[in-house]
Amino acid sequence: MDLFYASVNVPDDSCCNNDSHSFKHVKITKRRVHFHEFMLDVHHRIFVYKQKHPRDDAIPIIAQQLAQEAQLLCFDEFQVTDVADAMILKRLFLLLLDWNVVVVATSNRSPDALYEGGINRSLFLPFIDMLKHTFDIISMEDSAKDYRLETRADGQSYFWSNKDVHGDNNSDNNMQAQLKEIFGGTASGTEAEAIHVPFGRTVQVARLNDRCAWFDFSELCYQPLGAADYISLCDRFQVLIMDRVPQLDVNHLDEARRFVTLIDVCYESRTRLVLAAKVPLDELFVEFEAQVESSDGNEELFVSEKGGNSSSYATTMIRTKEGEQFEWSATGRSGVSLAQLSAANDLAFSFRRAASRLVEMGGKEWGRQ
């Protein structure tokens, strides 16, 4: 898609002198954007419009704005995981087509698998039918080779130790020394910097310099942060260091979802992500699968691990209806709603992509100057 986008250029007037069929007076406008960033932009436009016109329909106006800004829209990582996004997209895409906007998208999902298992998915099905009948769908599944794994991970971006990172172990001390070397110079002041995020939020950064910010895993993934926050951090810093990264399994579904989003944002912006973890990279993500079972009329979401270390990280404490707690090794329940099934299985799918991306991002040439 990037090659295609780069090849679509504004026509050169000098090559179209007397040809009545030329595009001499046509200026092609184009935009390439990660889908996370696109949806944040759409939500922000809706927010701004509603401030002035609270009772009016914002979607036709947003579609017209987008069409006037770009005749060609290229989306990377097209995905739908939120019911609000699903409802917006159905109308927005139809209006963009009415404005003759050309849309090219890459996705890890076929149209039929978009928003699979999501809330009120039946309302989204007409959009899927429109995609299938209006767009050319090209499957790349015949290629089983993951070229990201061909990268030589020589950029010193992933460190691990099964000891606490503040312990006295020599390997821990060495790991911290390497992180400090990557971090480089210190900030000129001691105060934290507040990174501004759309919709009036901020992210506090306590340890930073001009090019790098250093976080504990809990600061970025245990907090209610999302793509907008991570995009703002990547806009500000060329390098992000994250310390104390745990093994990510069924006990860390929400944290893992945020972590995967962070990886996606860093990958898109070519921000170097340096990780200090408790397990090797090939054990960072524990594979699992989710399914819903009914018992006594209540739906329960069971998340079963399929691989990874059989350590304390692969153990879940279960509370029975009577309030008794017991250990359920390698299997856990995550909530009791059907809506979480789609999110859990989508995360399991995303784990594989995230691990592959971390390998590529570990290359010596990765990052932006």
Poorest-pLDDT segment among 4-18, 51-65, 119-133, 229-243: 4-18
On average, the pLDDT of the chain sits at 77
pLDDT at residue 291, as a whole number: 57
The predicted structure's pLDDT at residue 42:
93
301 and 177 share a domain?
yes
| Residue 11: exposure state from Cβ atoms within 10 A (0-12, 13-18, ≥19) | middle
Does 182 reside within a domain? Answer: yes
265 and 359 Cβ atoms separated by less than 8 Å: no
Question: What integer pLDDT is reported at residue 285 of this predicted model?
Answer: 81
Which segments of the chain does DSSP mark as H helices, in order?
2-7, 35-52, 59-69, 83-98, 125-134, 170-183, 217-221, 227-236, 253-269, 339-361
Asked whether residue 342 falls in the same domain as residue 297, the answer is yes
Q: Are residues 110 and 158 in the same domain?
A: no
Of 10-24, 99-113, 239-253, 297-311, minimum mean pLDDT range: 297-311
**Alpha carbon 4 to its chain's center:** 23
Question: Tell me, what's the pLDDT at 305?
Answer: 56
- Are 12 and 123 in a shared domain? yes
118, two tokens: 């999501």
Give 175's pLDDT tier (boundaries 50, 70, 90).
confident
Span 149-163, mean pLDDT?
Answer: 70
Percent of the residues in the chain that have a pLDDT greater than 90, as a whole number = 30
Given a contact cutoff of 8 angstroms between Cβ atoms, the answer to whether 182 and 362 are in contact is: no
In this structure, the answer to whether residues 13 and 115 fall within a common structural domain is yes
User: What is the structure's pLDDT at 259?
Assistant: 92
CB atoms within 10 A of CB 42: 20
Same domain, yes or no, for 105 and 227? Answer: no
**Residue 326: which residues within 8 A CB-CB, separation 6 or more?**
317, 318, 320
Question: Which among 134, 167, 188 is the end of a domain?
Answer: 134
Q: Which of 104, 134, 164 is the last residue of a domain?
A: 134
* 140 occurs within a structural domain: no
What is the helix (H) or strand (E) element at residue 239, kind and residue range? strand 239-245
Helix (H) or strand (E) holding 292: strand 288-295
Q: Which residues on neighbouring strands pair with residue 273, listed in sequence order?
A: 240
Residue tagged 């960033």 (tokens): 37
Q: Which amino acid is residue 18, in one-letter code?
A: N
Structural domain containing residue 25:
2-134
CATH of residue 109's domain is: 3.40.50
Tell me, yes or no, whether 58 lies in a domain.
Answer: yes
- Give domain status of residue 236, yes or no: yes
234 and 291 both lie in a single domain: yes
Pair 52, 161 in one domain: no
Q: Determine, yes or no, domain membership for 146.
A: no
Based on the fold, state whether residues 241 and 113 are members of the same structural domain.
no
Please state, as a whole number, how many other Cβ atoms lie within 10 Å of the Cβ of residue 300. Answer: 16
* Inside any domain, residue 257: yes
Rounded average pLDDT over 260-288: 87
Please indicate, yes or no, if residue 139 is contained in any of the structural domains: no
Domain-embedded: residue 117 = yes
- Tell me the per-residue pLDDT of 193-243, one tens digit each, with 9 for 90 and over: 999 998 788 999 999 998 999 999 999 999 989 888 999 999 999 999 999
User: What's the total number of domains in the chain?
Assistant: 2
Task: Please say which residue of 84, 103, 134 terminates a domain.
Answer: 134
Residues 160 and 98 in one domain: no
